[in-house]
Amino acid sequence: MRTPVTMNSIRIGITDCARYANYERWFLDAPTKVDVIRLSYNLNNMDDIDKCEGVVLSGGEDVDPRRYKRPDLLGRLELTDIDEKRDEFEWEIIERALKLKLPILAICRGMQLFNVYHGGTLIFDIPTVTNINGHAKIQGMDQRHEISVGEKTLLNEITGCVKGAVNSSHHQCVETLGTNLLIAARAEEPVVEAIQWRNAHEKPFYLGVQWHPERMVDQNSPFSYNIRQAFLDYIIEHREPSTNDDENTPTHPSESV
C-alpha cells in the first residue's frame, strides 16, 4: 500500500454523473485531505477548472458515436444512453485541463472520452462485436474479472502488479488508440482495461481505467487505493506553493443528483 504524502488540502474537480457521490466520497475518504469541486454543465461552472489541481473524468453514459465518426451507430444505441451536453462540456474540460497541464484520472466513460478526444475509437458493444461477455453489470451488480498489466507501465508502477482482479460494469471499450496513448492493461483480447500516455514520464499524470476503483469492494486493493493515492501524490509533488493559499480555497457543494 502506498504511503500518502501529507500536506494541506488538495483541490480536485470531478465531472458530474448520476453516481457522483461515489467519486466524491472516495476522495473525501482518502488519507490526504481533499476538497472537491463538482464540474457540471448543469452548474455552468466550466471556469471552476481554474481552481482545480487535478481532474477526475467520471463514468456514465455512452460517448456519442458521432465524436468518433460513427454516426451509423446511433440507430444501434438507446439515445437515453447519450448525453450530448455532457460530451460537449467534458470535451472542453479535457481541452482546458491539458492546456493547464493538470493531472487527469479517467474512469470508465472518462477513459473512453479521453481516447476519443485524441482521435481514438470505441467498440460500441463488446458482446455484439466480439461475442465476449462478463464485463457489463448483471441484475444491477458489478461483475469481477482478471486483468493483465503491462510491465513498466504507469499502472504497473502504481500497483506493483502484473495481474489483478477488478470490478466491471461496462459494455464498451477502447478500439483504436488515440494519438500518443499506450495500453497499460487488458482483460482478454481485445478488451482494453487501462491506458496512459506513451511517454508517461514526460507529461503530466494521466491514467485511464475501465473499472470503477471508487466502488471496489476491497478499497485497499492496489487497483483502488494505490490509484487514488498516486493521483493525489502527483498533485502534491508538482504543485505550486501558492496553490494552497487559504484565500483561494473555494467552497464545494457535496450534494448528489
Catalytic position from the list 135, 170, 212, 252: 212
Decide if 61 is catalytic.
no
Question: Cell match 455532457: residue?
Answer: 86
Which grid coordinates belong to 64?
456519442
Catalytic position from the list 135, 173, 214, 252: 214
| 192: β partners | 186
Decide if 17 is catalytic.
no
Q: Count other C-beta atoms under 10 Å from residue 125's C-beta.
A: 16
CB burial string 50-78: b at 16+ within 10 A, e below: ebbbbbbbbbbbbbbbebbebeeeeeebe
Catalytic position from the list 61, 108, 135, 170: 108
Residues 6+ apart with CB under 8 A from 79: none
Virtual CA dihedral for 209, 211, 212, 217, nearest 10 degrees? -130
- Give the whole-angstrom CA distance, residue 247 versus residue 120: 41
3-state secondary structure of 130: helix
- Give the whole-angstrom CA distance, residue 256 versus residue 237: 30
Rounded to 10°, the helix 225-238/20-28 angle is 70
- Give the whole-angstrom CA distance, residue 79 versus residue 81: 5
Decide if 214 is catalytic.
yes
Catalytic residues: 108, 212, 214
